[in-house]
Amino acid sequence: MGYGAMQLAGPGVWGPPRDMDEAIAVLREAVATGVNHIDTSDFYGPHVTNQIIKKALHPYPKGLVIVTKVGAKRGPDKSWNHARSRQDVTDAVHDNLRNLGLERLDVVNLRVGGMQDPEPGSIAEPLTALAELQAQGLIQHLGLSTINAEQLAEGQKIAKIICIQNFYNVANRKDDAFIVDLAKQGIAYA
């Protein structure tokens, strides 16, 4: 059972929440009621959501999996910008480690596309950098976010991909065939 922590930050996923004590209480209650997967990113806030997670739950309970994303950053105007260079993703991993209070991230998803749809293009540079950080022991597992089937195929030549996180709901079912293919490969779809 998962909890998406994006809305723990302030309005527009920017700055601190209106009520920090309530945000902390929500996280603690979620875990107390069985949530064992928290989806987050250090670009939420920026940094705010991960700092709240750390304050509320650190040291983390056994079995809690924290899945974070890299590949974007927030501009001073609150915009959502791509940040997929080798240096960008390396810095993002270290920011996530620091703000979550971890020595190793459970899962890091490389966000490639926009908020809802994949964008074409190579993912080799950022995913290679993440695979190197994984080899150094800073990341346990790698996933991809907002990607297409071609990008998955490219990514699988670089590293083992354990999950895909794409925009999907009752009204947006463009990934139906992709989901079937991922299931055959044993890759989780969130």
pLDDT averaged over the chain?
96
> Residue 115 belongs to what domain range?
2-189
pLDDT given at position 40: 97
CATH code, domain carrying 79? 3.20.20.100
pLDDT given at position 113: 87
pLDDT of residue 133 exceeding 80, the answer is yes
pTM above 0.85?
Answer: yes
pLDDT interval class at 122 (50, 70, 90): very high
Cα(178)–Cα(164) distance, integer angstroms:
10
Across the chain, which distance is largest between two alpha carbons, in Å? Answer: 45
CB atoms within 10 A of CB 20: 15
For the residues 34-47, what does the mean pLDDT come to?
A: 96
Active site residue 60: no
**Number of structural domains found in the chain:** 1
pLDDT of residue 96 exceeding 80, the answer is yes
| Residue tagged active-site, from 44, 60, 168, 189 | 44
pLDDT given at position 116: 80
For the residues 115-142, what does the mean pLDDT come to?
A: 95
pLDDT of residue 82 exceeding 90, the answer is yes
Q: Token pair of 143, please?
A: 């996933």
